[in-house]
A and B are shown apart, each in its own frame.
Chain A
């Protein structure tokens, strides 16, 4: 299976630290990937690089074989969900927020219909006519997910969607994410904080630490003292 998203040998260096150190990642269509790690491990930078909103110092990123910045927010492309980024003013109604990414590509009426459908899919249809500022954190993250769905993406990148949610709220949200993966074949890459709420069954779990993305790597132990080099005297193991 060819990769939908391909991150290859990516490094990002800040003056004081290395945010990403030669990170590689491939995500196939319909795959759920959770990148878990502590604060300042490089999770968010990885998502930003994957989305093309931050250029790496070295390495390449491709979405469906093309540079990611050409596909972000496009129909059939991919979406980036960050809790505060790229929202219109807080006075906007939820339905306008959700329809906004589609406005330039279709008529207002069709964009609103797409927004209604996305809100319904996310179990947030009753929020459509409410102002964004009135939403709880749990409602807001659902609305943001709905907003990402209106352009029918093949991949959604989500930065710590469960942070700040209560346990039942995060369980319900993650059930929704998994249903999108299962029923629509959307690939999802989401980061998760140290609490590990998003470590859901079925997800491919990758761990980040100090800019390194990890799985298992074989390594052989070093040589012990050669047998012939040992002392022949008796020992009592003290």
Chain B
């Protein structure tokens, strides 16, 4: 599928919904789940709303029915994911995380997992960790620079990578605890 992370999470919202949604309901759910001022993507309702026709054109979602409008006008179409859409969503969740914005991409994927699917969540965290490991290997060397400000910036980059690696480990602990709590005793 072409398109950025908003298109991905819009498709995920349709896939995860237990019932068909209107275009407006899709947009509102994307904003509630991923957007808002404190959200992972800070995306607005309109962004997801605009993604819906493209997803439909790509054959990832389709119209499965209609629902009457309050005003009594044209019935509103109800949308659900196609098999191709479900396949695309699954491929996205299991694909490698890439830079830049590995953290945003990881958080968006974690929010796009079916509730309780902890194994998939662990896989996403593992892939985030893998890309961070590669980033460390490829990072610029702080000590190689003569410029003080450059060195300070490069040290910051490393601190950020360390914090993100720690986040991976903490996330794994949290998911592991949740898995343990769900197991029958």
The secondary structure that dominates the A interface is loop
Contact of B155 among A167, A194, A205, A227 (CB under 8 A): A167
CB distance from A91 to the nearest CB of B (A): 35
CB distance from A209 to the nearest CB of B (A): 5
- B83 an interface residue at 8 Å Cβ cutoff? yes
A174 neighbours in B (Cβ, 8 Å): 143
Q: Are A216 and B129 in contact (CB under 8 A)?
A: yes
CB distance from A178 to the nearest CB of B (A): 8
- A41's closest neighbor in chain B, by CB? B169
Chain B 124-163 per-residue mask, 1 if CB under 8 angstroms from chain A, else 0: 0011011111001111111100000000000100110110
- B76's closest neighbor in chain A, by CB? A234
Q: Are B16 and A224 in contact (CB under 8 A)?
A: yes
Q: Are A214 and B126 in contact (CB under 8 A)?
A: yes
CB distance from B127 to the nearest CB of A (A): 5
Q: Are A214 and B94 in contact (CB under 8 A)?
A: no
Contact of B15 among A207, A224, A232 (CB under 8 A): A224
- B46 an interface residue at 8 Å Cβ cutoff? no
Contact of B80 among A175, A195, A227 (CB under 8 A): A227
CB distance from A195 to the nearest CB of B (A): 7
Q: Are A195 and B162 in contact (CB under 8 A)?
A: yes
- B64 an interface residue at 8 Å Cβ cutoff? yes
Q: Are B83 and A227 in contact (CB under 8 A)?
A: yes
Q: Are B86 and A224 in contact (CB under 8 A)?
A: yes
- For the complex, give the distance between the alpha carbons of A201 and B158 in Å: 9
Interface size on A, residues (CB 8 A): 42
Q: Are B137 and A234 in contact (CB under 8 A)?
A: no
In this complex, the interface size class of chain B, counting residues with CB under 8 Å from chain A, is 35 or more
A16 neighbours in B (Cβ, 8 Å): none
Q: Which of B1-9, B25-33, B50-58 contacts A (4 or more CB under 8 A)?
A: B25-33
> A residues within 8 Å of B by Cβ?
34, 36-38, 167, 171-172, 174-175, 194-196, 199-207, 209, 214-222, 224-225, 227, 230-237
What would 28 A/B residue contacts be, using CB atoms closer than 8 Å?
Answer: A171-B142, A172-B143, A194-B166, A201-B139, A202-B141, A204-B133, A207-B129, A207-B168, A209-B169, A209-B173, A215-B130, A216-B126, A216-B130, A218-B123, A220-B90, A220-B94, A221-B119, A224-B86, A224-B89, A224-B114, A227-B81, A227-B86, A232-B65, A234-B20, A234-B65, A235-B18, A237-B21, A237-B25
Give me 14 other A-B pairs in contact (C-beta within 8 A), A216-B131, A221-B117, A224-B89 excluded: A195-B162, A196-B158, A196-B165, A199-B136, A199-B162, A200-B136, A201-B136, A202-B141, A219-B120, A219-B123, A221-B119, A224-B15, A230-B20, A234-B19
> B residues within 8 Å of A by Cβ?
13, 15-22, 25-26, 28-29, 64-65, 67, 78, 80-83, 86, 89-90, 93-94, 96, 113-114, 117, 119-120, 122-123, 126-127, 129-133, 136-143, 155, 158-159, 161-162, 165-166, 168-169, 172-173
